[in-house]
Amino acid sequence: MKDIDRRSFFRKSLLSAGGVVVAPLALGETKEMMAGNRKVTSPKVIFFDVNETLLDLTPLKESVTRVLGGRKELVPLWFTTMLQFSLVATVGDQYRDFGEIGAATLQMVARNHNISLTEEKAKGALKPIHSLPAHPEVPEALGRLKNAGYTLVTLTNSSKQAVEEQMANSGLRKYFEALLSIEEVGMYKPHSRLYNWAIRKMGVSPSESLLVAAHGWDVAGAQWAGWQTAFISRPGQQLYPLAGNPEIVAPDLAQIAEKLMAAKR
């Protein structure tokens, strides 16, 4: 089979009922070429998701595990339930602080598994989110991007106060020109209004913007808004197969920064 035919065959075979299937690579084709099919162009503004993308959630996961009776397998369920009800609030034209939604959904998960959890303890379990450490490669990668002339901005579902505390406590504040929070709009990502609001705030067009995130749903939302995207494939995270492919897919921010530096040259 010719190389071009093999590439076409492999791409058509990527989807199955169970999700993404990793097909063998055609001659000269890399995993990154399979993951993304668009060439990145140097953006004017790079927007960053915060939780899990820049900051390590381990302390939060440990705290939540403790109030769930040591059942760490329930932590991903809580996180997806929190995201679900943030979207329920958005669709219902309501807004509550992400921390409030987090505590409420933590109680929901606890009740469904016969775990007694008061509102006070649920809120207490979420306190580590304000002082999460950065992933090891993040400070240097942000520094390189900033020194290269990129404008760096956060775009997070956390409240304005929360992201300010997070950036101060993690030592990352100095890298960012602005800290954007969805609180200013009163609805959650990945609603398209959030991405459109963010670029108006920064005075750039969709094509001049790039989102870096470790969540497939966030990457999908930015892509649908016409942005360029970079996906950090942190453990346990996957791209949404029905969305378009990102310009960049890499396991950490250091490698994403390297590709953005190359686009700058």
Q: Per the structure block, which two tokens stand in for 78?
A: 């809580």
> For residue 16, what pLDDT is reported?
32
| Domain residue spans of the chain | 32-55+132-264, 58-130
Classify 179 as helix, strand or coil: strand
Classify 104 as helix, strand or coil: helix
Predicted confidence at residue 3, as pLDDT, reads 41
pLDDT band (50, 70, 90) for residue 263: confident
Would you give the DSSP letter of residue 218? H
| pTM, 2 dp | 0.84
Mean pLDDT of the region 14-24: 31
pLDDT of residue 38: 66
Which DSSP symbol is given to 212? Answer: E
CATH number for region 58-130:
1.10.150.240
pLDDT value of residue 40: 85
* Contact status, residue 88 vs residue 133, Cβ threshold 8 Å: no
The answer on pLDDT for 15 being more than 90 is no
Cα 53 from Cα 51, distance rounded (Å): 5
CB atoms inside a 10 Å sphere around CB 124: 13
Percent of the chain with pLDDT over 90: 83
> What is the mean predicted confidence (pLDDT) over 172-181?
98
Residue 211, beta-bridge partner list:
47, 229
pLDDT band at 264 (very low <50, low <70, confident <90, very high): confident
- The residue type found at 194 is L
- pLDDT above 70 covers what percent of the chain? 86
pLDDT of 19 over the 80 cut: no
Which residues, 6+ apart, have CB-to-CB distance to 152 below 8 Å? 45, 46, 48, 142, 145, 146, 175, 176, 177
Task: Please report which confidence band the pLDDT of residue 9 belongs to, taking 50, 70 and 90 as the band edges.
Answer: very low
**Assigned CATH for 32-55+132-264:** 3.40.50.1000
pLDDT of residue 29: 30
